[in-house]
Structure 1
Amino acid sequence: MLDLDKILEDVKACRIIPEQDVLEMCLLGQELLISEGNVQSVAVPVVVCGDIHGQLHDLITLFRIGGEPPLKRYLFLGDFVDRGFNSLETFLLLLVYKLKYPDKIYLIRGNHESRQITSVYGFYDECLRKYSNANVWRYCCELFDYISLGAYIMGGLGGRDGVFCVHGGLSPGLETLDEIRKIDRKQEVPHDGSMCDLLWSDPEKDVDGWALSPRGAGYLFGEGETSKFLHRNGLSLVARAHQLVMEGYKELFDGGLVTVWSAPNYCYRCGNVAAVLALDESLTREYTTFESAQGKNDNNDRDGYDPTTITNNNNNNVGFQRGNVFLTTRQKPATEYFL
């Protein structure tokens, strides 16, 4: 029998969790997540959080500021892993809370919850360094396939005021939430198609309609497409993450879309603040910003290991092209990609 309280304590202290315990937690997580739809229904009040990217101590700060589960309900918009020094502990902390309080912690899949991306951007290397094998990485990646693609938040007052939450953005192949609910999500993130778009797309104020994304996956979409999606689905807001915002959050399209970023001083070098979005019963928005847990993150840089530098396990450098994420080009520092 797993002692989740003990595991929670060990994770916060960055102690290595036995491989068998990680396996059991991931299997329990699969059983729990498979019961949740592609678009989860999340009650209010709720705190919506953006990318964390392995910055464990900043996640702990987030909970300290907002209140630890089960005192508050949280919705995380994906990208729990990669880049930061403690991707494994970050994901395990969220997983333990999910297992302990399933109606207080909700998870949405990000583009980094993927075998291909984590094999390049740090999570694979971290697991290999900590366990001397890739088993824990595989257990987590198998669990990633079960994580929902989005969430729907309806205010207690009802009416046409729902909030759709997603990691990346919209897709030209998806007009309604019901169409998202029909996707077979239990798979590796595809290189293209509607599921890929939800995890990779970005809003762009200068785009009229749809445009190809410079990321090499997903699309850029403008205010018109956002407004149509909101009206068609009875929504007032699309809440998403996926893009660094120096101020922690940014509203676009006359308040119809917001980007929330929850990793302060991203990659331990960007100097940004982080934010979370609290929604009450009437879906009133309240943003809270916070700064990095200075010093604590730096102490985890062991043996010169720097997870914010892109690596490639096939000894090739990494580039991007639509439909094929990994092609050869010169290696860049992590902050030039902002994936």
Structure 2
Amino acid sequence: MESATLNRIISRLLETGSKSGKQAPLSETEITQLCMVSRNIFLRQPNLLEIEAPVYICGDIHGQYTDLLRLLEYGGLPPHSNYLFLGDYVDRGKQSLETMCLLLAYKIKYPENFFLLRGNHECASVNRIYGFYDECKRRFNVKLWKIFTDCFNCLPMSALIDERILCMHGGLSPHLDKLDQIRNLKRPTDVPDNGLVCDLLWSDPSQETRGWGPNERGVSYTFGVDRVTEFLRKHDLDLICRAHQVVEDGYEFFANRKLVTLFSAPNYCGEFDNAGAMMHVDENLMCSFQILKPADKKARFGFGSMSLGR
């Protein structure tokens, strides 16, 4: 993809974002190109990404394009800062297409600075129902949705930051014994109804669970504090960082700060009064949180930090 074309797409997307709710003037050909080129980059890079700090980590975005731009503005546009997104880019919000196109464009432009993991909504059977299919069909056609599906089926599932922080969209799995199992997962793949891929994208921590328990979502498992503690000890890790659940302050700890949930879509769906958060990991593995209040409330502010340094 020619860099001049890519730069034009990015500047159009950024310009659109300054006018809340306005649709970006992108052609079907341009969007198809973004999907095809990024798909090849995803397949070239490992399924368990190995990323060096410093990095900003973001949770669910769900088509809240204006909020995505607020996050990037706060952290600094790439390549000024490195980013890792934990999935769930589409569905529910009004601008899944703009959200996805900007993320893919940055992935193509800065493949070693900008990283995207797969969420449970980057799956045809889910986003067929929760909004992305309808948005593609309304604004373009079903063929474009299928092209996105081919791209989503190639997204990596997990990332390791400085060999200390393991990141994924959902959580742990009873099928996960060695990290090499993630590295060896074959792509492209759909998300199966059970097994390791399913759990990485769907499982949830639960205070009520000891070991593994049923998940009220009807998919995958819940896992207890004991599973987190044991997993970190066994693999010599400091922290699990995941998304997948709305949390009131945008971030929430579990298992004595051994796991953190990030959710980056403030005022989610217009129905929740939650903040959104992004976590910054510096060179010393000190983690700090940047909070996005819902846009119609207060401006963003930084809050809290913790050290993982040894």
Question: TM-score, normalized by length of structure 2?
Answer: 0.90
- Are residue 25 (structure 1) and residue 34 (structure 2) matched? yes
Question: Does the 8 Å CA contact 2:43/2:187 hold for their aligned counterparts?
Answer: no
Superposed displacement of residue 212, structure 1: 1.2
8 A contact 2:54–2:283 mirrored in 1: yes
Supply the AA of the counterpart residue of 1:228: E
2:266 is matched with 264
- Unaligned runs of at least 5 residues, structure 1: 155-160, 296-339
The correspondence for 2:142, drawn from 134, 140, 143, is 134
Q: Paired residue for 1:90?
A: 99
Q: Unaligned 5+ residue runs, structure 2?
A: 17-22, 298-310
SS of aligned partner of 1:243: coil
Match of 2:288 among 273, 277, 286: 286
CA deviation after TM superposition for structure 1 residue 99, in Å:
0.6
Give the letter aligned to residue 122 of structure 1: G
- Paired position in structure 2 for 1:113: 122
Structure 2 distance, partners of 1:163, 1:232, is: 14
- The CA deviation at 1:22 is 1.3
Partner letter of residue 98 of structure 2? E
**Amino acid corresponding to residue 42 of structure 1 in structure 2:** I
Number of corresponding residues: 288
1:118, CA displacement in angstroms?
Answer: 0.6
- Give the CA deviation at 1:135: 1.7
Partner of 2:112: 103
Measure how far apart 1:139 and its partner are. 1.1
The amino acid of 2:135's aligned partner reads E
How many percent of aligned residue pairs carry the same amino acid?
42
Map residues 5-16 of structure 1 onto 2, 5 A cutoff: 5-12=7-14, 13=16, 14-16=23-25
Stretches of 4+ aligned residues off by more than 6 angstroms = none
Residue 183 (structure 1) shift: 1.7
Q: 1:269 offset after TM fit, Å?
A: 2.1
Aligned to 2:131: 122
Cα distance per residue 1:114-153 (max 9 Å; x no partner)? 000010000000011101x212211111000111000000
**Contact 2:53–2:282 under 8 Å retained in 1:** yes
Preserved CA contact (<8 Å) 2:65 2:96 = yes
CA contact (8 A) 1:169 1:240 kept: yes
What is the CA–CA distance in structure 1 between the aligned matches of 2:296 and 2:34, rounded to whole Å?
30
Residues 181-226 of structure 1, C-alpha deviation per residue, up to 9 Å, x if partnerless? Answer: 1222421111111110110000011211001111111110001111
**1:1-339 alignment to 2 at 5 Å?**
2=2, 3-12=5-14, 13=16, 14-131=23-140, 133-154=141-162, 162-294=164-296
TM-align CA RMSD:
1.3
Offset at 1:50?
A: 0.2
Q: How far apart are 1:294 and its partner, in Å?
A: 3.6
**1: CA distance, partners of 2:88 / 2:63:** 8
Read off the aligned partner of 1:152 and give its amino acid letter: L
Distance 2:209 2:84 in 1: 29
Deviates more, 1:73-82 or 1:133-142: 133-142
Do the aligned residues in 2 keep the contact of 1:45 with 1:279 (CA within 8 Å)? yes
